[in-house]
Amino acid sequence: MSDKSRRSKLLPFTLTWSLLYLISIWLTYRRDIPPEPAMYAILLIGIPLTVLIAVEWSTVIPVRKTAIVIVIAAVAWWLVTAMLVRSGLCWRFWHPVNTVMLLVGTYTLGNWLAGELEKVGHLIPVCILGAMVDVWSVLQGPSRSVGEQVVEHAQRQVYTGTWQPPPFLGFMILSWPQPGEGYMTPLFGFGDLVFIALFLAASRRFGLSVWKAFFLVLGGLAIAIGVVLFFETPIPTLPFICGLFLIGNWRNLSLTKSEWKITITLAVVIMIIGLTNWLKAFILGG
């Protein structure tokens, strides 16, 4: 199948995704709808469709200038639509638009980064370092603060039974409306979406199996979501996505000794910074 025929699927996939999202929002506050089927619909339809859009997006790897223009435009529209949603003005329409802008910005950024890689083996340090930063961010850094705000907002909506303006930083998380429950279910954040696009675009660029990457990414997301549902607490998603991607493609990835030394050095630095911040928080908290 040619890239041209593949590109043509991007618009219908995006429109289908947006329609599903819009319907979910309209059904969010319907108390006569059992929430369990809606949750399964999110897991079985919404998430795979989100990754499928990235598969179609991976056919186009923009040059740096083009990527910058697209990302700036997407961020501008993301800001505008976020403010419209927070104002309550036709928020059931603007929230899907806002989330589409999040996808456009993150997927464009991920595809551009894939085009900047010199060789496929460089995905190894990208995965290792990205996963470590994500762990720190979710457990101690900015992602933890954003996650706490999203959870608090969801609890407030459930308690009041009415729509409440979302926290501004919460728009950086792809959250799906939960029909019958009255809140948005946080799925994965800005960095996760960038990595999803990066893996799929890099797989296409370097001749790896795109559909293998699709199922590896989807498997990582499924494991992460399963852990979240079991422990009922936010966790970093990238270790699962990156881990499965590395395991599934390890035979096709390689680094020189000097590249391994740089990767290990950076990993140790990140680990030391993370432990230092944890000890600081532990001492101050105690």
Give the tens place of pLDDT for each residue, 118-176.
Answer: 999 999 999 999 999 988 888 777 777 777 777 787 777 777 777 788 888 889 988 88
Task: Work out the percent of the chain whose per-residue pLDDT is above 90.
Answer: 45
The H or E element containing residue 281 is: helix 257-285
Q: Which amino acid is at 197?
A: A
**DSSP secondary structure code for residue 167 in this structure:** P
Q: Is residue 111 part of a domain?
A: yes
**What local confidence, expressed as pLDDT, does residue 150 receive?**
78
The H or E element containing residue 89 is: none
Q: Is residue 47 part of a domain?
A: yes
Tell me the C-alpha distance between 48 and 86, whole Å.
Answer: 28
The H or E element containing residue 189 is: strand 183-189
Question: How far apart, in Å, are the Cα atoms of 123 and each of 65, 155, 181, 249, 260?
Answer: 23, 38, 39, 10, 12
Q: Is residue 220 part of a domain?
A: yes
**What local confidence, expressed as pLDDT, does residue 154 receive?**
75
In terms of residue numbers, what domain contains 234? 3-119+144-241
**What local confidence, expressed as pLDDT, does residue 1 receive?**
40
pTM attached to this predicted model: 0.89
Residue 196 has pLDDT above 90, yes or no: yes
Q: What is the DSSP string of 177-222?
A: EETTTTEEEEEEEHHHHHHHHHHHHHHHHTT--HHHHHHHHHHHHH
**What local confidence, expressed as pLDDT, does residue 200 receive?**
96
DSSP E strands: which ranges in the chain? 173-178, 183-189
Q: Is residue 115 part of a domain?
A: yes
Helix (H, G, I), strand (E, B) or coil at 185: strand
The average pLDDT across 27-32 equals 79
Residue 2 has pLDDT above 50, yes or no: no
Q: Is residue 169 part of a domain?
A: yes
The average pLDDT across 188-199 equals 94
Per-residue confidence at 279, pLDDT binned at 50, 70, 90?
confident
Per-residue confidence at 30, pLDDT binned at 50, 70, 90?
confident
The average pLDDT across 247-267 equals 93
Please state, as a whole number, how many other Cβ atoms lie within 10 Å of the Cβ of residue 110.
25
The H or E element containing residue 175 is: strand 173-178
| Residue 271 neighbours by CB under 8 Å, 6+ apart | 132
Q: Is residue 104 part of a domain?
A: yes
Tell me the C-alpha distance between 195 and 125, whole Å.
Answer: 13
Q: How many domains does the chain have?
A: 1
The average pLDDT across 239-264 equals 94
Q: Is residue 91 part of a domain?
A: yes
Q: Is residue 139 part of a domain?
A: no
Tell me the C-alpha distance between 149 and 151, whole Å.
Answer: 6
